[in-house]
Amino acid sequence: MALTKITNITGRGIYLPGDDVDTDRIIPARYLKCVTFDGLGEYAFFDERFDTEGSAKLHPMNEARFGGASILLAGSNFGCGSSREHAPQSLYRYGIRAVLAVSFAEIFFGNSIQLGMPCLTLERQDIEKIAAIIEQNPATPVQIDIAATKITCGGEIFKAGLPEGSRSGLVDGRWDPIAELLENNENVDRVMRALPYMDLRK
C-alpha cells in the first residue's frame, strides 16, 4: 500500500490576502457534523464567498478567471484557530493541492501534510510577487519542486521552506503515518508479541 511520491506539483494559483486566516473561516463550524469528509469542498470559505441568502460575494474563489486553481497563496499564520482537520480536508476536496504562505499554524500544517497537500513557506515579498504574476495572468502556471523546495512562476524562481521531515516524507511517499502503520502490520504484530506484558491468551 505504498503512497504516491509527491515530488512536483504544477497548477494555477489563487491568492487569498490577509494574515491569521483561521480554520473557522476555512470551513464554518456548522459543516463539521459530517460522518465522512466527502463533499466538504463546496463549503471551503463558504461564509467568505456567500451571504446569508446564498448569493456570491466578491471573493477570489468566486472569480471565473481563478476557476480550477490548485495552488493557494496566503499570508502568515494560515490555518490558525481550532485544530479541526476538516479545514485542510475542505481545501483538498475543493481542488487545492498545495498551499504557499508566509507561515502556517502547526496543527493545520501537520494535517495538510498527512493529506499529501504540501505547505511551503515563502518570504512575504515572494508571495506578493507570485500573487502579482497570477493577478496579471491567472493562467500562469505555478511550479513547485518539493525535493528542491523551490517555486517557479512567470520565469522567476523562489526559494521555499519546508521542514526536512515533511519534505522527505512527501518525496519518499511516507507522508501518511496511518498508511505506514498499516503497511507495516506484520512488524507491529511481531513487536507486540515480544512485549513481556502482552498476554495474547486473554
Q: CATH number, domain at 92?
A: 3.20.19.10
- Does some domain include residue 92? yes
Residue 123 has pLDDT above 90, yes or no: yes
User: In sequence order, what E strands does 106-189 have?
Assistant: 119-121, 141-145, 150-153, 156-159
Whether 183 maps to a domain, the answer reads no
Count: domains in the chain: 1
72 forms bridges with which residues in the sheet?
Answer: 14, 99
Question: Residue 1: is its pLDDT beyond 60?
Answer: no
pLDDT, position 2: 64
Residue 14 pLDDT level (bands cut at 50, 70, 90): very high
Q: Compute the average pLDDT of residues 7-15.
A: 98
**pLDDT for res 49:** 96
- pLDDT, tens digit, 9 for 90 and up, residues 151-184: 999 999 999 999 999 999 999 988 776 656 556 5
Task: Return the pLDDT at 83.
Answer: 86
**Residue 188 and residue 131: Cα distance in Å, rounded?**
46
Note the pTM of the prediction, 2 decimals: 0.87
At residue 177, the 3 state secondary structure works out as: helix
Which of 160, 167, 128 has its CA nearest to residue 143?
A: 160
Report yes or no: 73 and 130 within 8 Å, Cβ to Cβ.
yes
In this predicted structure, which of 16-20, 80-84, 127-131, 142-146 has the lowest mean pLDDT? 80-84
Other CB atoms closer than 10 Å to residue 65's CB: what's the count? Answer: 14
Q: What is the DSSP letter of 8?
A: E
Give domain status of residue 1, yes or no: no
Range of the domain at 165: 8-173
